[in-house]
A and B are shown apart, each in its own frame.
Chain A
């Protein structure tokens, strides 16, 4: 009897401490999000209202540095023509477009050759970064702005490295093959390179969800919210990720991620760190971490910035299966980067990156999903078994839902106060409802996918997963 009582007491103690750990982790995550929201609010308030792109052209056209836009394309036959049209109509004084066909199994290369009347030609390039062999380089004899590099399959990072080698401009911009850059995005993204050319080494812009918006010859003609629930929730997620998190980290020069879907980098510095890491699941985060580490190691003053104004449109997954695969992959990428660069974690030598950025990755990406899912299961169970009292359960529920709603709606408030990019009041009302609703079900599902990503990471599962594309809406269709 005494033994039973002891075991029960011990189990109660263990359960209590598990609950405390789960709660602490949730609390830490919430505090991180709140801090981000505050810093992002401050950063946005300090930012001047956005100048028209015609003014930026007038102001910067003479001094804007040349940029090579590098687009890795793997099985992108559906969207690649639209993407290239968009890129060829950019408002920027000096740029070239390099599409890298990464051994696509579909007709990506043929579609490009037909659409842009390309012919194979010889182009000398620097072999600064390693990559799979290039099979041919194509261009249009009457338009030297577009170059297509056809190479053997080696993955996204490998294709990007090939593009960096072939490029000649001092800056390069990477975007995904299924993305569309707004016409003035380069002009806006180049601003930090013009205003602070000595220190700026990388700049990230905003990614927006294109589902249901209309495009014509590579330009957005009508911005509409997605009609389906999953992409709608992703609109809120992207707002949180870009407007809140990245802006906040950028403000304190501790930005840990520039999305692979849209970032501008100084070519020389990227070559100095060996380019994109091949086979990495989070090659974009990996590159930013490498740049931080390199610049800190050589003791150079530098800036890696996020600016919200330049926009790149991308198609968001519309099915649970595809979205789940994407989120698991992102989780694997984050874990991979954290453990690859673990030497920077809490290391004062790396300043804010080691003491804030890496700690943030640890709380949000390493511990976060596990603790949150454990919380969903264990806290109600412990309450049901009488291990935890009702106050504890209510506190946890408040933490998960109330702060979740506050942070999501807060990001939307920030967007509307400072940027106002959603076309009308009705859209705002829909988004507000979505920001509330996503906390009930969608967020939990996301954590489940992230746990799956953790499991795949532990099993060293490096499959990428297929992304099913529907293509951009075209008003000409």
Chain B
């Protein structure tokens, strides 16, 4: 009975496949017509003609495949097509998908809605911050951030929830507000109740801004009790690459946690802390390979003086330092 049941279901699925294949063929024809019309429009800029071409193409096909074309375009061409899409009401199709689609469609809908900046779009995305899927909530937050319509960050992070706050996509979200709302990122980085992952992400994004006004704050964070936060802060100091950060980095080279030492060994040449050569030489014997490796590379990057130091260690008695120095010397010479 069970076997017969499974075979019957399979036979039904085979029939379904035949029907679906035919429908897909039709959809592909519509997609090809859409692509041709949009490409023609970017060349002749004839709005009447493109509107006429799009009139008999299903809106769902335009809302889906149209954005594949859009992803390839920038500047005026992209803007022209976005206007045409807005004129034929594609944003309403997408908003409907954001409310009623499956999870994949809802995520994609949130991403596409950034093409239609309007109060109506913002409302739809704000509602999506309460979606049952955390990935949809994150995508909606990123879209709102890109449209500079993100509610207060603390509020948004609460809505994103416990697991969502631990997604690497949080970095994307933070980047959307890094330029204008860095004070909120600082609050996240400082918040002892926030999870370490989120705090580190906030720190990393502050480091990517290239804004020296964050230097003092980030340097202070290199002394945080959490090694994860301290390591992220040292990384951010390195990214900002300001020479005045040398003492902070040299101090971090002696940190008890190897992850902080490793970040410091990478940051040391970015801030040009040549005074760190004795500490770096000591780190050639560190118990952790990444620390030894980056310390040796930092020495090599300091030019002749550092290379001489490495060579003297490499020519010494066999030891962990000697092996690290000789391996990195050989690698950098290649």
Q: Which residues of A contact B290 (CB under 8 A)?
A: 126
In the complex, the answer to whether A195 meets B135 with C-beta atoms within 8 Å is yes
Whether A413 touches B21, Cβ cut-off 8 Å, given contacts A122-B334, A195-B135, A195-B169, is no
Residues on A facing B (Cβ under 8 Å): 48-51, 54-55, 58-60, 62-63, 65, 121-128, 193-199, 401-403, 405-406, 409-410, 412-413, 416-417, 420, 424-425, 428-429, 432, 436
Q: Which residues of B contact A58 (CB under 8 A)?
A: 71, 111
B293 to chain A, nearest CB (A): 6
Question: B324 within 8 Å of A by Cβ?
Answer: yes
In the complex, the answer to whether A403 meets B2 with C-beta atoms within 8 Å is yes
In the complex, the answer to whether B13 meets A122 with C-beta atoms within 8 Å is no
In the complex, the answer to whether B13 meets A416 with C-beta atoms within 8 Å is yes
A72 to chain B, nearest CB (A): 22
A225 to chain B, nearest CB (A): 14
In the complex, the answer to whether A194 meets B167 with C-beta atoms within 8 Å is yes
In the complex, the answer to whether A49 meets B102 with C-beta atoms within 8 Å is yes
Question: What are 27 A-B contacts with C-beta separation under 8 Å?
Answer: A48-B103, A48-B133, A50-B104, A55-B111, A62-B175, A121-B331, A123-B334, A124-B328, A125-B327, A194-B169, A195-B135, A195-B167, A195-B168, A195-B169, A197-B167, A197-B197, A198-B166, A198-B197, A401-B3, A406-B3, A409-B6, A416-B13, A424-B21, A425-B21, A428-B13, A428-B17, A436-B7
In the complex, the answer to whether A126 meets B293 with C-beta atoms within 8 Å is yes
In the complex, the answer to whether B6 meets A410 with C-beta atoms within 8 Å is yes
For B6, B11, B104, B108, which residue has the most chain A Cβ atoms within 10 angstroms? B6
In the complex, the answer to whether B327 meets A62 with C-beta atoms within 8 Å is no
Question: B330 within 8 Å of A by Cβ?
Answer: yes
In the complex, the answer to whether A123 meets B331 with C-beta atoms within 8 Å is yes
In the complex, the answer to whether A412 meets B10 with C-beta atoms within 8 Å is yes
A192 to chain B, nearest CB (A): 10
Whether A48 touches B102, Cβ cut-off 8 Å, given contacts A58-B71, A195-B135, is yes
Question: B77 within 8 Å of A by Cβ?
Answer: no
**Bound-complex Cα distance A425 to B20 (A):** 10
**Bound-complex Cα distance A127 to B320 (A):** 11
B111 to chain A, nearest CB (A): 7
**Bound-complex Cα distance A121 to B333 (A):** 10
Q: Which residues of B contact A413 (CB under 8 A)?
A: 6, 9-10, 13
| Nearest A residue (CB) for B10 | A432
Q: Which residues of B contact A65 (CB under 8 A)?
A: 168
A46 to chain B, nearest CB (A): 9
Question: B14 within 8 Å of A by Cβ?
Answer: yes
In the complex, the answer to whether B171 meets A63 with C-beta atoms within 8 Å is yes
A154 to chain B, nearest CB (A): 21
B334 to chain A, nearest CB (A): 4
In the complex, the answer to whether B14 meets A432 with C-beta atoms within 8 Å is yes
Q: Which residues of B contact A412 (CB under 8 A)?
A: 10
Question: B82 within 8 Å of A by Cβ?
Answer: no
Q: Which residues of B contact A126 (CB under 8 A)?
A: 289-290, 293
Whether A406 touches B327, Cβ cut-off 8 Å, given contacts A196-B167, A198-B197, A413-B10, is no
Question: B163 within 8 Å of A by Cβ?
Answer: yes
B222 to chain A, nearest CB (A): 22
| Nearest B residue (CB) for A165 | B289
Which of A55, A199, A405, A424 contacts B108, CB < 8 Å? A55
A258 to chain B, nearest CB (A): 21
Q: Which residues of B contact A63 (CB under 8 A)?
A: 168-169, 171-172
Q: Which residues of B contact A193 (CB under 8 A)?
A: 168
Q: Which residues of A contact B104 (CB under 8 A)?
A: 48-51
In the complex, the answer to whether A405 meets B6 with C-beta atoms within 8 Å is yes
The B93-126 residues at the A interface (CB cut-off 8 A) are 102-105, 107-108, 111
**Bound-complex Cα distance A65 to B104 (A):** 22
Q: Which residues of A contact B71 (CB under 8 A)?
A: 54, 58
| Nearest B residue (CB) for A128 | B289
For B5, B17, B104, B172, which residue has the most chain A Cβ atoms within 10 angstroms? B17
**Bound-complex Cα distance A409 to B133 (A):** 32
**Bound-complex Cα distance A193 to B139 (A):** 17
The B1-42 residues at the A interface (CB cut-off 8 A) are 2-3, 5-7, 9-11, 13-15, 17-18, 20-21
Q: Which residues of A contact B14 (CB under 8 A)?
A: 425, 428-429, 432
Which of B6, B20, B324 contacts A124, CB < 8 Å? B324
| Nearest A residue (CB) for B19 | A425
Q: Which residues of B contact A125 (CB under 8 A)?
A: 327
Question: B211 within 8 Å of A by Cβ?
Answer: no
Question: B68 within 8 Å of A by Cβ?
Answer: yes
**Bound-complex Cα distance A424 to B175 (A):** 44
Whether A124 touches B293, Cβ cut-off 8 Å, given contacts A196-B163, A413-B6, A428-B14, is yes
A315 to chain B, nearest CB (A): 27
Which of B15, B171, B331 contacts A122, CB < 8 Å? B331
Q: Which residues of B contact A54 (CB under 8 A)?
A: 68, 71
A194 to chain B, nearest CB (A): 4
Q: Which residues of B contact A48 (CB under 8 A)?
A: 102-104, 107, 133
Q: Which residues of A contact B135 (CB under 8 A)?
A: 195
In the complex, the answer to whether A122 meets B169 with C-beta atoms within 8 Å is no
Q: Which residues of B contact A124 (CB under 8 A)?
A: 293, 296, 324, 327-328, 330-331
Whether A121 touches B289, Cβ cut-off 8 Å, given contacts A195-B169, A196-B166, is no
| Nearest B residue (CB) for A439 | B3
In the complex, the answer to whether A409 meets B289 with C-beta atoms within 8 Å is no
The B131-186 residues at the A interface (CB cut-off 8 A) are 133, 135, 139, 163, 166-169, 171-172, 175
In the complex, the answer to whether A420 meets B17 with C-beta atoms within 8 Å is yes
**Bound-complex Cα distance A361 to B108 (A):** 40
Contacts A58-B71, A420-B20, A425-B14 known; list 11 others, CB within 8 Å.
Answer: A51-B108, A54-B71, A123-B331, A125-B327, A126-B289, A194-B169, A405-B3, A406-B2, A413-B10, A429-B14, A432-B10
In the complex, the answer to whether B10 meets A122 with C-beta atoms within 8 Å is no
Q: Which residues of A contact B11 (CB under 8 A)?
A: 432
**Bound-complex Cα distance A158 to B54 (A):** 60
**Bound-complex Cα distance A443 to B169 (A):** 46
For A59, A194, A417, A424, which residue has the most chain B Cβ atoms within 10 angstroms? A59
A239 to chain B, nearest CB (A): 12
A21 to chain B, nearest CB (A): 24
A149 to chain B, nearest CB (A): 14
Which of A122, A196, A197, A420 contacts B330, CB < 8 Å? A122
| Nearest B residue (CB) for A402 | B3
Q: Which residues of B contact A51 (CB under 8 A)?
A: 104, 107-108
**Bound-complex Cα distance A51 to B328 (A):** 43
Q: Which residues of B contact A425 (CB under 8 A)?
A: 14-15, 17-18, 21
B209 to chain A, nearest CB (A): 15
In the complex, the answer to whether A416 meets B10 with C-beta atoms within 8 Å is yes
In the complex, the answer to whether B102 meets A402 with C-beta atoms within 8 Å is no
